[in-house]
Amino acid sequence: MKITVVGGGIIGCATAYELAKAGCAVTLFERATPGAEASGAAAGLLVPLGAATGSAFERLALASWRLYPEVVDELRERTGIDVDYVTRGTIYPLLDAEDVRQAEARVAGHLSSEFGIEAWDTAEVRAHEPALATHVRGAMFVGADHWVNNQRLVVAYAQAAVAAGVVLRSGTSVSRIIVEDGRTHGVVADGDRWEADAVLLAAGAWTAALAASFGARLRVEPARGQMVALLHVPPLLNHVVHSDDVYLVPRPSGELLIGATVERVGFQRSVTAEGIASLLAAAIGLVPSLGALPIARTWYGFRPWAPDSLPILGPWPDVEGLWVATAHFRNGILLAPITARLMTDWMTTGRPGLEVDEFAPERFLTRGHTTF
């Protein structure tokens, strides 16, 4: 099968790699370089335990999290790239009695053993992370949480894809999806027509613009996320610290990443004083001594967001051969392995292998102005 993948972020590169391993002839189009947008701007957290326990999304996240050790080893073997896969666990600060109650419930839950979930009292918090503010009354610790260097991960997936036979066309912009007689026939890129048996739209926040090229409206928009890194040598923190409004990630490089805003401002390419100030205020509120550290850099990315904050995965209704994998929002790095395998199985065998009804494109696709 001849497949075109549009978008060279983590989802596009990972899926192109899996499709090539499955025997497909794959061409991957990326208008810049792999990971140039949201995938390169992320913090690389792999934290699958959300509030919606038992939901389809949590099952998807857990399945992907469980694939990561295998994926990291495979990519290292095929490319020689070390993606800084680190397991030190995440501290979730508890500030009031309700926080403590919820943490105790998670400790008693069915995933507590696999994830090493513990409820820490004030003394245990001070023993593990003495730099945390005194108003932190306790913590939920998830010992099995990981993080990776997401920039290296995208490069590793891209190199592995090329080694598996994927034709990577960097610096090539897809302007239109070719839809004729109810099916896709390929894409138009830099003015040239490229034929394909199937097309996968994995262009992140820009997927909606590609849908518009053949008259459809897909409700995906950019959610700008600003971040700041502090120089963190010697380190003040040894674990990721994750509260409701900020997360702190100590990187092996000596940086402490602080993120991230969530802003519906379209494609405004800027770092703002207000955005960075809000992150620093929240971070210093949790770890007061951070206020003395120098700022290393600031940046932003455009995460693809759908109105229910869930991914959009599957075949495009009424267009044979057209598929979509987008709207991973804040979970693109975490969900890349399972998305790649799920989409590969689905596109090559007709079966996704997991429960996917909740992620169907139909829920946010307006067909009233579509011409097929």
pLDDT tens digits, 261-294: 999 999 999 999 999 999 999 999 999 999 999 9
**Mean confidence (pLDDT) of the chain:** 94
Q: 3-class secondary structure for 354-370?
A: CCCHHHCHHHHEECCCC
Size (the chain), residues = 372
Domain boundaries defined on the chain: 2-79+150-220+307-366, 87-145+222-305
* DSSP at 263: B
59: number of Cβ within 10 Å: 15
* DSSP at 248: E
pLDDT in tens, 5-47: 999 999 999 999 999 999 999 999 999 999 999 999 999 999 9
Q: Which two tokens stand for residue 86?
A: 């680190």
Q: Which two tokens stand for residue 24?
A: 């497909």
Q: Which fold has domain 87-145+222-305?
A: D-Amino Acid Oxidase; Chain A, domain 2 (3.30.9)
In whole angstroms, how far apart are CA 196 and each of 25, 68, 110, 187?
A: 9, 31, 45, 8
Q: How far apart are CA 142 and CA 115, in angstroms?
A: 6
**Which among 360, 85, 82 is positioned nearest to 219, based on CA atoms?**
360
pTM of the predicted model as reported, rounded to 2 decimal places: 0.95
**Which residues lie across from 248 on neighbouring strands?**
241, 258
Q: Of all residues in the chain, what percent carry a pLDDT higher than 70?
A: 97
In whole angstroms, how far apart are CA 312 and each of 202, 324, 331, 333?
A: 10, 7, 12, 15
CA atoms within 13 A on the CB side of 273: 0
**Which among 250, 155, 219 is positioned nearest to 363, based on CA atoms?**
219
Residue with tokens 């992370």: 129
pLDDT beyond 70 at 162 = yes
Q: Return the pLDDT at 110.
A: 78
- Split at pLDDT 50, 70, 90, the class of 371 is very low
SS3 (DSSP) at 234: coil
User: What are the two backbone dihedrals, phi and then psi, of residue 173, each rounded to the nearest 5 degrees?
Assistant: -100, 125
Correct CATH for 2-79+150-220+307-366 of 3.40.640.10, 3.40.50.1110, 3.50.50.60, 3.20.20.140: 3.50.50.60
Which parts of the chain fold into alpha helices (H)?
10-21, 38-41, 56-79, 97-107, 112-115, 122-128, 150-163, 207-212, 273-286, 332-349
pLDDT beyond 50 at 360 = yes
pLDDT beyond 60 at 367 = no
Q: Which two tokens stand for residue 160?
A: 């592995």
